[in-house]
């Protein structure tokens, strides 16, 4: 002030990211079993990614996606379904709810 008096203030701010990331799975695909590789392993997530696509992740602070072990419901003749599952995790550990 005009008299030379001074004062200082300190404020601590804690920034929290409470926004959950969002995971987008690849499109559903139906194919005949004759189109699959001869030694097809329905539990091999890298093969599933190369044949049927990958997920994507979105978040306000950046995120990555992970593929979880699929649910395989195939008969001995390889007829049925493979349900692929994904999750997204952001930089602070929030996981997707979809």
Q: What is the pLDDT of residues 2-26, one digit of tens each?
A: 888 898 899 999 888 889 999 999 9
pTM of the complete model = 0.75
31: closest CA among 77, 81, 69, 92? 81
Query: Between residues 17 and 84, which one has the greater pLDDT?
Result: 84
Q: Worst-scoring range by mean pLDDT, 8-12, 38-42, 74-78, 90-94?
A: 74-78
Q: pLDDT tens digits, residue range 67-78?
A: 999 999 988 766
Write 82-88 long-range contacts (CB < 8 A, 24+). Answer: 82/42, 82/48, 84/25, 84/26, 84/45, 84/48, 84/52, 86/23, 86/25, 86/55, 87/23, 88/21, 88/22, 88/23, 88/55, 88/57, 88/58, 88/59, 88/63, 88/64
Confidence tier at 35 by pLDDT (50, 70, 90): confident
């Amino acid at each position: 002030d005009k008299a030379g008096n001074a004062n200082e203030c300190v404020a601590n701010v804690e920034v929290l990211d409470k926004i959950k990331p969002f995971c987008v799975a690849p499109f559903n695909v139906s194919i005949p079993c004759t189109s699959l590789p001869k030694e097809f392993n329905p539990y091999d997530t890298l093969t599933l990614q190369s044949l049927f696509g990958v997920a994507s992740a979105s978040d306000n602070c950046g995120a990555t996606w992970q593929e979880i072990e699929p649910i395989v419901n195939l008969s001995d003749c390889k007829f049925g379904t493979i349900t692929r599952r994904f999750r997204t995790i952001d930089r602070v550990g929030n996981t997707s709810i979809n």
